[in-house]
Chain A
Amino acid sequence: MTDMASLMEDRAAAKVISDNLHKPVDWDSPKIARNIKKRYAAERRFKFYGLAAIGVALLALFVLAGSIGSKGYTAFFQTYVQLEITFDQDAIDPDRTGDPAVIGKANFDGLIKQALRERFPQVTGRQEKRDLYSIVSGGASYDLRERVMENPGLIGQTRKVWLISGDDFDMLNKGYISADVEEGNRRLNDEEIAWYDALKSDGAVEKQFHTRFFTNGDSREPELAGIWGAAVGSLYTLMVTLALSFPIGVLAAVYLEEFAPKNRFTQIVEVNINNLAAVPSIVFGLLGLEVYLNVMHLPRSAPVVGGLTLALMTLPTIIIASRAAIKAVPPSIRQAALGLGASPVQTVTHHVLPLAMPGILTGTIIGMAQALGETAPLLMIGMVAFIVDIPGGALDPATVLPVQIYLWADSPERAFVEKTSAAIMVLLAFLVLMNGLAVYLRKKFERKW
């Protein structure tokens, strides 16, 4: 009974509302106007959040680029000091043999030290002298030797020579060490700064373009350290990676896209590829360590092992990109080829692959760019060793650019900060080039079917 009553009541209430419902809303009422205002304010706020989010991301990008650029650009120049070197016959080639072997063994370091002592005769103490010698880099004597070897006529003469300076002196000249800081808190004492001022006022300090940075291998001395060794290591590593991952990746993509029956095997492969793409890179490093080094006993620190490890990592990228490119080729082309009696393999090699190649190459370049920037797995397989020599092949111990950056970032010397930043700039330049090439390829061969 009560149910019935309440139902009737509901009906009645519904009727009232129902009558109200087709009475137009008074859109000009103050309540509605207020509401509209609030809604538009919310709209503006929401839009602002979106813009702010993009702003935050771009700001981070600018700060990142700015901090690296501002720290790194100085590394492309190096401070040189001009000294008056006496190429003393007795010191270089006392028996006047003129034999390059004898000259090569001469104590050029001593000549530089002597020149420094002559320039600052007031320096006498042991520690003071050591400080004085550190104005010039340990590498300067090699330069001097080379100079004399090339031009033996110098022997017996006195010449003004520009010599590469030590790292602290370089930092002082570049303004990274400030004379205003209390003496105990800086790398150079007051006396050393006075020497600098004296040399500077003679015009005997200048910055020159630092070619060594691009041509040298690693070194413990920041002013002698260069990225060439790491760059060559990266090159060998990437060559191995490319040689393995490109053919394997493309063949796998062709199989999965064109030939594979829909069975369990194919399904497992697909799931595997998708998951491999998301496995942390360091896990690939562990795989490389265990399989390549501990089981197969391949040489440690060698680009070949790095390449093998990175190949497994880039494989999913290449397979996924290649499959997308192959899928984009319209079926009509395959049907046309098959209709002319071409075999499936011929159809793929003659028609599908050439048409998909720009997309495949784009994906491959992006995969290679990822591999070029990868660090963690290479730490696992020992490509993190301190290696001075430029590697001569894929089996020599080597390091790669990102690992070099990691190593330098870990070094305590102040001068390595600018080297690290500069190495990052070089690495980023390579990445920009590669990605630019990928974008160019995509734009040039973009095709709408």
Chain B
Amino acid sequence: MAAVSQSAMTAEPSVASPKMTARDLNLSYGDNQALFDVNLDIVERQVTALIGPSGCGKSTFLRCMNRMNDTIDGVTIKGEVTLDGRDIYDKRIDVVQLRARIGMVFQKPNPFPKTIYDNVAYGPRIHGLVNSRDELDQIVMTSLERAGLLKEVKDRLQSPATGLSGGQQQRLCIARAVAVSPEVILMDEPCSALDPIATAKVEELIDELRSNYTIVIVTHSMQQAARVSQRTAFFHLGKLVEVGETDQIFTNPKDERTKGYITGRFG
């Protein structure tokens, strides 16, 4: 049964020219296999939501997409992940550049213990994207504006970022990611540490960012996936069970497990 649905999945890539793809991706931590033969396409300038019960491998998969798992000891990855058709695990790919092209926002807001300005300026500075202070100022301003934070912090750019509220910190982290002009932004449960009002703001922001960036978001909340995403992928026990248009997944799931999950029979 599972084998059949699995092969059906592989055939699914109905997407014409995906921004990113994963092919037969397997990952293990030592002897523990966490991902089994994942095949998934990410559509450009759309929000793709990864859902599934905790421990299902969705975050692990997300971290494979910009090679964040490289920093963990004892991880082995097999298979292929591509960005614009090029394998990102290719030896010739520079991981530093790759991560600039594929930005990431984490579960807990993690502003650096620096000023608000320096947080946003960090990426452009290390990547040498600017030639002058003015340019940097502009990038910081626009990034903050994009993240919908500029109005709130305009007058205290030089105060420490850790003084912001949780929601503001998370939007700052998004501004920080945006500042290096990434093509893809990966978000790992970006609202799980936020209150409902801050969550609404971040969701709104994600929706706006969609016009310029390809976004992949891992979320715990199916409502959130339904609100912000165009495509949804359901993970279960390290396998990608089903992927499709968000509307279709939530109204007419093909797989029993997906149905079970979204109707709340397990999770």
Contact = CB atoms under 8 A, between A and B. Distances in A.
Q: Report A-B touching, CB under 8 Å.
A: yes
A39 B127 CA distance: 9
A25 B139 CA distance: 13
A23 B182 CA distance: 9
Interface stretch (A12-20, A173-181, A287-295, A297-305): A12-20
Contact of A39 (B96, B138, B143): B96
A27 interface: yes
B254 interface: no
A331 interface: no
A21 B181 contact: yes
A14 B138 contact: yes
A14 B141 contact: yes
A21 B127 contact: no
B116 to A, nearest CB: 17
B100 interface: yes
B181 A13 contact: no
B97 A21 contact: no
B101 A27 contact: yes
B20 interface: no
A35 interface: yes
A37 to B, nearest CB: 10
Contacts of A22: 181, 212-213
A18 B178 CA distance: 11
A36 interface: yes
Interface in A62-105: none
B183 interface: yes
A32 interface: yes
B101 A13 contact: no
Contact of A17 (B126, B127, B138, B213): B138
A262 interface: no
A13 B137 CA distance: 11
Report whether over half of chain A's contact residues are helix, strand or loop; otherwise say mixed: helix
Contacts of B127: 25, 32, 35
B179 to A, nearest CB: 8
B97 A36 contact: yes
A16 to B, nearest CB: 8
Interface string B76-105: 000000000000000000101100110000
B206 to A, nearest CB: 15
B183 to A, nearest CB: 6
A32 B94 CA distance: 12
Given A14-B141, A17-B142, A36-B94, A23 B181 contact: yes
A31 interface: yes
Contacts of A36: 94, 96-97
Contacts of B142: 14, 17-18, 21
Contacts of A39: 96, 126, 128
A24 B101 contact: yes
A38 to B, nearest CB: 8
A225 to B, nearest CB: 54
Contacts of A27: 97, 100-101
Contacts, number: 47
B108 interface: no
A34 to B, nearest CB: 8
B37 interface: no
Contacts of B128: 31-32, 35, 39
Contacts of A31: 128
Nearest to A27: B97
B146 interface: yes
A22 B145 CA distance: 13
B173 interface: no
Given A14-B141, A32-B127, A21 B96 contact: no
Contacts of A25: 100-101, 127, 129, 180-181
A39 B126 CA distance: 8
A231 B146 CA distance: 75
Contacts of B139: 17, 21
B97 A18 contact: no
A27 B101 CA distance: 9
Contact of B138 (A13, A23, A24, A32): A13
A23 B97 CA distance: 16
A27 B84 CA distance: 14
Contact of B146 (A18, A23, A24): A18
A17 B97 CA distance: 21
A162 B169 CA distance: 86
Nearest to B131: A31
A19 to B, nearest CB: 9
A386 B235 CA distance: 80
A33 to B, nearest CB: 10
Interface string B143-184: 101100000000000000000000000000000001011010
B238 to A, nearest CB: 27
A21 B145 CA distance: 12
Contacts of A17: 138-139, 141-142
> Considering residues A21, A35, A36, which has the most beta carbons from chain B within 10 angstroms of its beta carbon?
A21
Nearest to A22: B212
A17 B145 CA distance: 11
B214 to A, nearest CB: 11
A24 B181 contact: yes
A21 B141 contact: no
Contacts of B183: 24
Nearest to B211: A22
A130 B74 CA distance: 75
A25 B142 CA distance: 16
Interface string B228-258: 0000000000000000000000000000000
Given A21-B143, A23-B181, 20 more contacts: A13-B138, A14-B142, A17-B138, A17-B142, A18-B142, A18-B145, A20-B181, A21-B142, A21-B146, A22-B212, A22-B213, A25-B101, A25-B129, A25-B180, A32-B127, A35-B127, A35-B128, A36-B94, A36-B97, A39-B96
Interface of A: 13-14, 17-18, 20-25, 27, 31-32, 35-36, 39
When A and B form their complex, which 8 residue pairs have the shortest distance between CB atoms, in order from nearest? A35-B128, A22-B212, A17-B138, A18-B142, A17-B142, A25-B181, A27-B97, A14-B142
Interface of B: 94, 96-97, 100-101, 126-129, 138-139, 141-143, 145-146, 178, 180-181, 183, 212-213
18 contacts: A13-B138, A14-B138, A14-B142, A14-B145, A17-B138, A17-B142, A18-B145, A21-B143, A21-B181, A22-B213, A23-B181, A24-B183, A25-B127, A25-B129, A27-B101, A36-B96, A36-B97, A39-B126
